[in-house]
A = this chain, B = another copy of it.
């Protein structure tokens, strides 16, 4: 399926409608032009990425969000949107927010465990201090 007329500098050799379209243009059944806003982030060999964001955010919203961001931030924005869309497809009720609430619960548990452990360290230090001060030459606190 390779186009023999390519000028030979990889992906940049894509001509109007001549090369395989990116995953977004393929799904939207439109021609994929060289300046396609989706193409750098939705390569043809990862069709599930665009399918997910299209289903959850809609192609025009994805397009708009990409256009509103400077180019150097678009890759991260696409990654986070794909992550968010996949979470919403897996869990249509809570999506990403399910993960947030489970992480927050995990933080609560860890904070409680840390408080217990730190209190135990303090208690043992007090005990140690008090024991060493109860030696014959000590001047104990009587704790």
Contact partner of A92 (CB less than 8 A), chosen from B69, B114, B117, is B69
A123 to B60, CA, bound (A): 60
**In which size bucket is the chain A interface?**
35 or more
CB atoms of A95 and B100 under 8 A apart: no
Counted per complex, copies of this chain come to: 2
Residue A99 contacts which of B68, B100, B113, B125 (CB distance < 8 angstroms)?
Answer: B100
Residues 32-65 of A, flagged 1 when their CB comes within 8 A of B and 0 if not, give 0000000000000000000000011110110001
Q: How far is the CA of A81 from the CA of B88 in the complex (A)?
A: 9
| A128 contacts chain B at the CB level, 8 A cutoff | yes
* Chain A residues in the interface with B (C-beta under 8 A): 55-58, 60-61, 65, 68-69, 73, 76-77, 79-81, 83-84, 88, 92-100, 103-104, 106-107, 110-111, 113-114, 117-118, 120-121, 124-125, 127-128
